[in-house]
Amino acid sequence: MMADSSDQYESVLCVKPEVHVYRIPPRSSNRGYRAADWKLEEPAWSGRMKITAKGKIAFIKLEDRNTGELFAQAPVDQYPGIVVEAVSDSSRYFVIRIEDGNVSSGRHAFIGIGFADRGDSFDFNVALQDHFKWVKQESELARQEAAQVSAPKLDLGFKEGQTIKINIGNIKKKDSGGAAAKSRPMGGSLLPPPPGVKSSALVPPPAAQQTTPATPPSPGMILEFGDPAPAVAPPSQDLWGDFTAAGSGSAQDSRSGWVQF
């Protein structure tokens, strides 16, 4: 929303040192104004032109080039519009609607203005276009802000006692031992037989020989260094008796020349 016009500052948009003012005949048709119908060799007034802006309104001011005294001004609230209109036969001439400054009176008149240089008329046109482009953007921003303020606010907060449930999916804990066991195949496992071969024809390799752990000695066999060593019985004299008897008999038989079967 724009502030009151009395609180706004006035900015200068464009200044041209030379402009001519012409009396124009009434428009005879809807085809527009033509500069050729004016007395271009005899301007009614010559001076300086200044374009200023105050809020949304632009002002075309015709001033004396020496004293700065205001000759006439045209408030512009829209461009292009009825306040500023280009002629149909030239780009250096325009028709503007001037007012006496008294809003209550509402008196106005249409006059023709022209520039000696074509570049001046171009700057005049661009200054008005840029100002009202800015006015359009400001109006759009104000409309969006008003829509945001009037729109109901979306309350995304939790109500009292309200809970939510989040389903993350099936998450399995990593088992390092199981993964290692799966990555290392067992030594006794067999690969599946190739196509066309019966499983009975394959002979599994022999199982790895398992080493039987040594059996610890019984408590009775452990010798204690503090106790005296047990006495060892002397070998029996009959330990080789049978073999001695058999040997002596064989010797006797061999001497006699007979062999017993």
List average pLDDT for each run of 10 residues in the chain, which is 261 residues long.
60 95 85 89 95 95 94 93 92 93 73 94 96 92 80 74 79 56 55 63 54 53 51 53 50 46 41
The predicted model scores a pTM of 0.55
For residue 168, tell me if it sits in a domain: no
CA distance 227 to 232: 15
For residue 245, tell me if it sits in a domain: no
Domain count, the chain: 1
For residue 19, tell me if it sits in a domain: yes
Q: Do residues 114 and 22 make contact, with C-beta atoms less than 8 angstroms apart?
A: yes
For residue 238, which amino acid is it? D
The structure tokens listed for 81 are: 């519009």
For residue 171, tell me if it sits in a domain: no
> What per-residue confidence (pLDDT) applies to 203?
55
CA distance 165 to 182: 35
> What per-residue confidence (pLDDT) applies to 103?
54
> What per-residue confidence (pLDDT) applies to 228?
54
Q: Count CB-CB contacts under 10 A for residue 132.
A: 18
CA angle 1/126/67 to nearest 5° reads 90
For residue 14, tell me if it sits in a domain: yes
The structure tokens listed for 225 are: 């260094």
Longest CA pairwise span in the chain (Å): 184
CA angle 165/170/173 to nearest 5° reads 115
CA 155, 161, 166, 172 torsion-angle sign: positive
For residue 228, tell me if it sits in a domain: no
> What per-residue confidence (pLDDT) applies to 260?
46
For residue 64, tell me if it sits in a domain: yes
For residue 98, tell me if it sits in a domain: yes
Residue 240: phi, psi to the nearest 5? Answer: -115, 20
CATH code for position 114: 2.30.29.30
The structure tokens listed for 173 are: 């804990």
Name residues whose C-beta falls within 8 Å of residue 38's C-beta, 6 or more positions apart in sequence: 22, 23, 24, 25, 93, 112
CA distance 89 to 99: 26
> What per-residue confidence (pLDDT) applies to 48?
96
Residues of the domain holding 94: 10-143
> What per-residue confidence (pLDDT) applies to 126?
96
